[in-house]
Each structure stands twice: as C-alpha cells, then as structure tokens.
C-alpha cells in the first residue's frame, strides 16, 4: 500500500502556485492611495527600479499589478490577450459610459465585437473619414483665423487646441444638423459638460478601492457625473431628433456626419450591424473623449518641446515650406509627405503619453505573467513612461530626438506590434479611435506651425511638469505668441 502511494505521489507531484509579484508591503485600509497624486509616475518609476519588470501594490483592498517590461507587455496584450482584455472601470467611468456600453470600457463579449466593428468599419473607416474632411477643415480654418485676429496676444495653446478639437468633433458628429447660432449655444454647453466629465473620470474615489463603501458614494463623484450626463443626454437626444428629420432629405456631398452614419446603421435590417440609441450615445461620447483631451494635450506637449528645441521647429517649418508652400494652406493630402512632423508627434507621444498607464485591464481568470500569479479581477497597469524611456531600448531616452523615428522604421508604427512603443495600446483593446487621432494630430499641428511663427512671451519659461488625471496634462498652461508666416493675408481668411 505504501509503495503504491509513493508511486502515485511521484507521478502526480504537488504543483506549487507561483507567488504574487514582489512589491511594497500593503498598508492597512487605504494601502497606497497616497500614490494618487501628481508625482504618481515618479513613484511608479521608483518601484520599477526597485522591483524590476513586474510588481504589485494595494489601493485599499484592490490588488494592482504594474508591468514595466516589453516582454511582459507581450504576455498580457498578445499571448493572453483574451484573459486580460476586460477593463477595470472606476465608478466615474461607468457612470460616464452608460454602464460600459461603449467600446473603451465594455466587457469583451459579442456586443463589444459588434460595436467595435461598426465603429472601425462604418464610423472611422477611410470612406467615412474622407467624407468628413470638409467638416474638419472648416474648424481648423476657424482656429487659424482666430489666432490671426489676435496677433501679438499670448495664445493659451492647450485651450486653443482643446476648443478646436472639440469643435472639429462636434462638427464631425452632427455638422449641418443645427443652425450656426444654435450650434454655438449647444457647443458652449457641450464643451462645459465634456470638460467636467473628463476631469471627474480622472479623479480617484475611495469607494473604487474599498468596494464595501461604494453604496455610500463618499465623495459624491458618481452623483456628480450622473448629473453632467443628464445634460449630455439632453444635447444628444436633441441633435439625434434633428438628425432623424434630415435622413430622408438631401445630404450635402462630402458633409455626411457620424451621427447620420450611425442612425442609418440603426435602420438596417442586418442584426449584426444594428445599434441601440444608448449605444449610439456611448459611441458619440467615445469619439469626444478620444478625440479631444488626449489629442489637445499631445499637441500642447509637442509645442512645448518644439519651443525648447528650435532646431526641430525649424526642421518642421522647412518641411512645410517645401511640401505645402508659403502661398498655400495645409490640406490633409499633404500629411503623408510630412515625415519630420510625424516623427515629432511620435517622439512627443514617447516622452509624454497622454494616458501613461493606458486603460487598466482586469483578468477574467487567475493567470501567470512572468512567473508570477496574477489573481482574477486584479488591476493591471502598463507603465508606458518607464517602457518608452528604457535606456536598454532607446538611445538618450530622456532627450527629445524626433530623428530616432526617421532612422528606425521598427519604432515608427502605432500598430502596437513593437512593445517598446505602444502609446495607443496594443492587442484587441488597442485604441479604436487611432485613425481619427492620427489625422487630427497631424492636421491641426501642421496648420498652426505652417501658418505662424511661435515664440514664448518675454520673460516666460516652459514648465515641463505634469498634472496626473484622466490624461497627462501640463501643470502650467503653455502660452505662446504667434507671428504670421504665410505670404498673403487672404490665406488667413
């Protein structure tokens, strides 16, 4: 009997469960909630230097795992993507996305796949983006005119970029649906609501990390978001009703907006391409959030770097003079030839990723990454600033060197296949709005740099510190003064 037992034990040795990743010892109750401040990324970097490619810490009762290595990123977003593709959504985010009915925060299921297919193929496909070009162009030209009429006055670059991007998005979503005066009124209200919602999505809520207290809504964030969402709903429902009346009428060639596209899909009999009113509103909000704050923030960081690196600024403007000409306006068809500008944007996103930890992931089952156990429902964060500044992968990683993206084609893609550089994420949850973001980043920045010379106000310096929230904004807004650069005043009309 004992011989048989020993033989059985030898054939089926006990398997040891891999340990949790290393990390600082958790503190009672609130754990590492003090991490949630403007020096958060420095603390993440300090721990990466101390514990290596993967570590853990606790936010209250929530176990958080931070990935600091490209090889481990690959395990999460490629090798085990189906396990790690769900989101860890906070209270404010769920309230702002109609309980995760959008693309960004929906669980990985058949509904998400259908919505993403609609979004990528029908809304942000090449044909749709091409058809909406005139809508983008109108708003960018308005921004250029606005700067021109205020020549000599300091321009709040982040505010200019955000206002322009939001106007572009609104025009693309429902351009032509309302009269100009009414559109301005709606736009002001919409802009105010969007700013408040985005800010709240970036604020930590104690109840997110102590679920037992969620019913108390201690900080009132959920109620506050829901209040703003009611205002958002009123705007959406109003423009949807106006747009429905137009569907049977004549559409202007080249002026087809995203809302018209989605309402037409809603009327299709093909169930695979159908979309509910709630999903339409969630998708519209996805477009707003993905196409405004992140894009405007990236443009502000790019201009801050260029004002500190005059040679790079000169290289861009020489390229624009050659490709576009000082007697012409920038058009989107110029973009493929603006290689140095593209390199500047990519280098900006390497040093200043708009969402530095990407959207948190949450495994649907306990898994193993890098030889460590990652429990089900833990929060998994990808530490982009550490990965994209790793000296083992990047030469002079802390320097602003756009040329690195001219000489190394492997690092020139946003596709998420090079795990040393994934500002838009990777895997099946890569940013669905990437085609629109690329166009808007290139077009607006090119237009502003081609139309004007830029300099700092006298006596001003650039503060490169950041404020951590839903996106990584500059702590101190960038002010810059413009001087006309084009040959004819009518090019600013």
Residue with token string 């493929």: 336
Range among 112-121, 133-142, 199-208 rated most confident = 133-142
pLDDT, one tens digit per residue, over 165-188 is 988 888 888 877 877 777 778 888
CB atoms within 10 A of CB 321: 12
Backbone angles phi, psi at 455, to 5 degrees: -150, 165
Selection from 391, 404, 399 nearest residue 308 by Cα: 399
pLDDT, one tens digit per residue, over 248-273 is 654 544 456 788 878 877 776 555 65
Take residue 46 and report the two structure tokens written for it: 């300090």
Whether 168 contacts 132, CB under 8 Å: no
Contacts 24+ apart (CB under 8 A), 454-459: 454/303, 454/306, 454/307, 454/313, 454/480, 454/481, 454/482, 454/483, 455/307, 455/480, 455/481, 455/483, 456/307, 456/480, 456/481, 457/154, 457/481
- pLDDT given at position 310: 95
- pLDDT given at position 5: 38
- pLDDT given at position 127: 84
Contacts 24+ apart (CB under 8 A), 315-319: 315/340, 315/402, 316/340, 316/341, 316/344, 316/449, 317/449, 317/450, 317/453, 317/485
On the question of pLDDT at 4 being above 50, the answer is: no
Mean pLDDT of 457-481: 90
Sign of CA dihedral 91, 92, 95, 101: negative
> Regarding predicted confidence, which is higher, 158 or 265?
158
Q: Using 50, 70 and 90 to split pLDDT, how confident is the model at 409?
A: low
Mean pLDDT of 396-404: 96
Non-local CB neighbours of 211 within 8 Å, separated by 6+ positions: 61
- Report the SS3 class of residue 361: strand
How many structural domains does the chain have?
A: 1
Q: Using 50, 70 and 90 to split pLDDT, how confident is the model at 14?
A: low
Whether 86 contacts 363, CB under 8 Å: yes
Provide the domain limits for residue 318: 2-492
Backbone angles phi, psi at 417, to 5 degrees: -90, -20
Q: What mean pLDDT, rounded, does the chain reach?
A: 86
Non-local CB neighbours of 241 within 8 Å, separated by 6+ positions: none
Mean pLDDT of 183-201: 84
pLDDT, one tens digit per residue, over 24-74 is 876 544 555 555 556 778 889 999 999 999 999 988 788 999 999 999 999
pLDDT, one tens digit per residue, over 329-344 is 999 999 999 999 999 9
Q: How deeply is 191 buried, as exposed, middle or buried, from its count of CB atoms within 10 A (0-12, 13-18, 19+)?
A: middle
- Work out the angle at residue 491's Cα, subtended by the Cα atoms of residues 490 and 493, and round it to the nearest 5 degrees: 60
- pLDDT given at position 287: 82
The CATH number assigned to the domain holding 224 equals 1.10.630.10
- pLDDT given at position 325: 96
- pLDDT given at position 346: 96
> Regarding predicted confidence, which is higher, 135 or 159?
159
Whether 33 contacts 60, CB under 8 Å: yes
On the question of pLDDT at 401 being above 90, the answer is: yes
- pLDDT given at position 36: 56
**243 annotated as a binding-site residue:** no
pLDDT, one tens digit per residue, over 309-366 is 999 999 999 999 999 999 999 999 999 999 999 999 999 999 999 999 999 999 999 9
Take residue 174 and report the two structure tokens written for it: 């429902």
> Regarding predicted confidence, which is higher, 108 or 261?
108
Q: Among 139-148, 191-200, 364-373, which is the least confidently predicted range?
A: 191-200
Q: How deeply is 460 buried, as exposed, middle or buried, from its count of CB atoms within 10 A (0-12, 13-18, 19+)?
A: middle
């Amino acid at each position: 009997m004992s011989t048989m037992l020993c033989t059985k034990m030898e054939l089926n040795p006990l398997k040891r469960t891999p340990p949790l990743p290393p990390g600082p010892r958790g503190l009672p109750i609130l754990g590492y909630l003090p991490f949630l401040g403007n020096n958060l990324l420095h603390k993440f970097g300090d721990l990466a230097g101390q514990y290596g490619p993967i570590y853990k810490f606790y936010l209250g009762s929530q176990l958080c795992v931070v990935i600091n290595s490209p090889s481990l990123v690959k395990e999460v977003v490629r090798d085990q993507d189906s396990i790690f593709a769900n989101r860890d959504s906070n209270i404010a985010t769920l309230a702002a996305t109609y309980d995760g009915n959008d693309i960004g925060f929906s669980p990985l299921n058949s509904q998400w796949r259908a919505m993403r297919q609609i979004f990528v193929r029908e809304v942000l496909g090449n044909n749709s983006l091409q058809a909406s070009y005139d809508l983008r162009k109108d708003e960018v030209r308005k921004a250029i005119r606005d700067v021109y009429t205020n020549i000599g006055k300091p321009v709040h670059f982040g505010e200019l970029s955000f206002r322009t991007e939001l106007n572009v998005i609104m025009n693309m979503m429902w351009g032509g649906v309302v009269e100009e005066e009414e559109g301005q009124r709606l736009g002001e209200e919409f802009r105010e609501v969007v700013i408040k919602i985005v800010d709240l999505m970036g604020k930590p809520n104690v109840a997110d990390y102590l679920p037992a207290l969620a019913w108390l809504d201690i900080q009132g964030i959920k109620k506050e978001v829901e209040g703003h969402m009611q205002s958002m709903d009123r705007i959406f429902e109003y423009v949807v009703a106006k747009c429905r009346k137009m569907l049977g009428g004549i559409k202007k060639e080249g002026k087809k907006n995203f809302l018209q596209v989605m309402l037409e899909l809603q009327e299709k009999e093909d169930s695979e391409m159908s979309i509910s009113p709630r999903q339409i509103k969630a998708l519209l909000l996805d477009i707003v959030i993905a196409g405004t704050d992140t894009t405007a923030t990236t443009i502000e960081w790019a201009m801050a770097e260029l004002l500190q690196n005059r040679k790079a600024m000169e290289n861009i403007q020489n390229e624009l003079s050659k490709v576009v000409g000082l007697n012409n306006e920038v058009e989107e068809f110029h973009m493929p030839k603006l290689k140095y500008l593209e390199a500047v944007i990519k280098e900006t996103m390497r040093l200043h990723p708009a969402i530095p930890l990407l959207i948190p992931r949450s495994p649907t089952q306990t898994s193993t990454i890098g030889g460590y156990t990652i429990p089900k429902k833990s929060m998994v964060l990808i530490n982009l600033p550490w990965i994209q500044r790793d000296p083992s992968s990047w030469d002079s990683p802390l320097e602003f060197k756009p040329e690195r993206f001219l000489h190394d084609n492997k690092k020139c893609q946003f596709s998420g296949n090079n795990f040393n550089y994934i500002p838009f994420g990777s895997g099946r949850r890569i940013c669905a709005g990437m085609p629109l973001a690329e166009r808007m980043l290139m077009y607006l920045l090119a237009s502003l740099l081609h139309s004007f010379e830029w300099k700092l106000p006298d006596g001003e310096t650039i503060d490169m510190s950041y404020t951590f929230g839903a996106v990584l904004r500059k702590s101190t807004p960038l002010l810059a003064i413009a001087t006309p650069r084009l040959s004819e005043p009518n090019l600013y009309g």
